[in-house]
Amino acid sequence: MRYPVVLHNIEYAGFGAIAPDLPHCHCYAETLDAALQKMAETIFQRLEELRQAGEPMPQPQDVDNLRDNPAFAGGIWAIIDVESL
């Protein structure tokens, strides 16, 4: 699955990342590249938790729909491709 991720540059502190389609799926890292890598690992871990709990995998939304949310204003969008579990 391909999950949209929004990253925000936190002045003097690095990057925070959120996967809007996966509740409780967020991370922080000092660089953009590190935040993307850590977010991929966090998404994989969250999906594994959902699978083990027998819960359905949330379907990713279209980035264009997510961009309209004011909470994500000014963010950098990326897509994290996670192989199905």
**Tokens at 14, concatenated:** 């690095």
Only one residue has tokens 């999906």, namely 47
Mean pLDDT of 29-47: 96
Cβ proximity of 37 and 27 under 8 Å: no
* Model pLDDT for residues 56-69, shown as the tens digit of each residue: 999 999 998 899 89
> 48 and 84 in contact (C-beta within 8 Å)?
no
Distance CA 40, CA 45 (A): 9
Fold observed for domain 2-81:
Double Stranded RNA Binding Domain (3.30.160)
Total-model pTM: 0.88
